[in-house]
């Protein structure tokens, strides 16, 4: 059976978890705390960079969440989560990469501040907010009048962006200016794959405590 090494509050692993559910696959979840259990020889053999998620499929293991999503799509193509039309495929890839390379890094300083892990300057705060607003403006435009990024079909674009974008409002960035994104988030949250993988407040608190302990050890 497929095995997913993950942490429920990780955006990087939740996108894989949602894809497994959307594909209706059977899998086992192996939860790490990231409080040091990612540094064991057993886990380092799966990913020398000690990152979750890792997917193990019999004797083959994959790390890097976007590579895992591609593997799942190629190996278990039904239901399909990737379009074949060239422009649609380009949009899916752009949404995935803008989410991981632009949106999530811009949220990092704001998350650290919100978690009480450090202060940031007004300039840094504004830079992050501006970058997030640029992503939101683009996604609002790309969603257009459709239910999902690619018409009426859920794709990897919705999974990757839709498990990350709600963080903007949690960090105090209002989504009022983005009615299409707001409706799309509601649509996604009504899916079983989203509601059943929603991080719980106690899991967030537990993770904060683990991080605080690790930061104290490092200082």
99 binds ligand GSH (CB under 6 A): no
Nearer to ligand GSH, 163 or 178 (CB): 163
52 binds ligand GSH (CB under 6 A): yes
50 binds ligand GSH (CB under 6 A): yes
72 binds ligand GSH (CB under 6 A): no
Among 171, 158, 52, 163, residue whose Cα is nearest residue 107: 171
Q: How far apart are CA 189 and CA 108, in angstroms?
A: 23
Least distance in Å: CB of 50 to ligand GSH? 4
Instruction: Please select the residue that binds ligand GSH; options are 4, 56, 65, 168, rule is CB under 6 A.
Output: 65
Which residues have CB under 8 Å from 170's CB, separation 6+?
114
Give 183's Cβ-side CA count (13 Å radius). 11
CA distances from 167 to 9, 155, 178, 180 (A): 11, 20, 14, 16
Stretch that binds ligand GSH, among 48-56, 114-122, 123-131, 152-160 (CB under 6 A): 48-56
Among 91, 74, 98, residue whose Cα is nearest residue 23: 74
Stretch that binds ligand GSH, among 45-53, 116-124, 148-156, 181-189 (CB under 6 A): 45-53
Among 79, 83, 111, 113, residue whose Cα is nearest residue 95: 83
83 binds ligand GSH (CB under 6 A): no
51 binds ligand GSH (CB under 6 A): yes
128 binds ligand GSH (CB under 6 A): no
34 binds ligand GSH (CB under 6 A): yes
64 binds ligand GSH (CB under 6 A): yes
Q: How many Cβ atoms sit within 10 Å of the Cβ of residue 94?
A: 14
What would the two tokens of residue 188 be? Answer: 């996604």
How many angstroms from the chain centroid is the CA of residue 170?
Answer: 15
Least distance in Å: CB of 4 to ligand GSH? 12
What is the total residue count of the chain?
219
Nearer to ligand GSH, 153 or 210 (CB): 210
6 binds ligand GSH (CB under 6 A): no
Least distance in Å: CB of 34 to ligand GSH? 5
Instruction: Please select the residue that binds ligand GSH; options are 12, 107, 155, 197, rule is CB under 6 A.
Output: 12
Extended beta strands in the chain, E state: 2-6, 27-31, 54-57, 60-63
Residues that bind ligand GSH (CB under 6 A): 10, 12, 34, 38, 50-53, 64-65
């Amino acid at each position: 059976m497929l095995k997913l090494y993950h942490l429920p509050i990780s955006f990087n692993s939740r996108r894989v978890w949602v894809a497994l559910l959307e594909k209706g696959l059977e899998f086992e979840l192996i939860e790490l705390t990231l409080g040091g259990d990612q540094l064991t020889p057993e886990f380092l053999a799966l990913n020398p960079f000690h990152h979750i998620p890792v997917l193990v499929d019999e004797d083959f293991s994959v790390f890097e969440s976007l590579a895992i999503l591609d593997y799942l799509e190629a190996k278990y193509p039904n239901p399909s989560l990737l379009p074949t039309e060239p422009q649609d495929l380009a949009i899916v890839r752009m949404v995935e990469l803008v989410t991981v390379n632009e949106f999530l890094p811009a949220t990092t300083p704001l998350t650290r501040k919100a978690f009480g892990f450090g202060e940031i300057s007004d300039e840094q705060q504004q830079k992050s907010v501006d970058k997030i607003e640029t992503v939101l403006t683009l996604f609002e435009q790309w969603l257009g009048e459709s239910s999902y990024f690619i018409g009426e079909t859920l794709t990897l674009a919705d999974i990757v962006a839709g498990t990350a974008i709600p963080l903007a409002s949690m960090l105090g960035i209002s989504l009022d200016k983005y009615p299409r994104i707001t409706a799309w988030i509601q649509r996604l949250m009504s899916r079983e794959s989203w509601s059943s993988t929603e991080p719980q407040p106690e899991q967030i608190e537990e993770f904060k405590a683990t991080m605080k302990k690790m930061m104290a050890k490092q200082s």
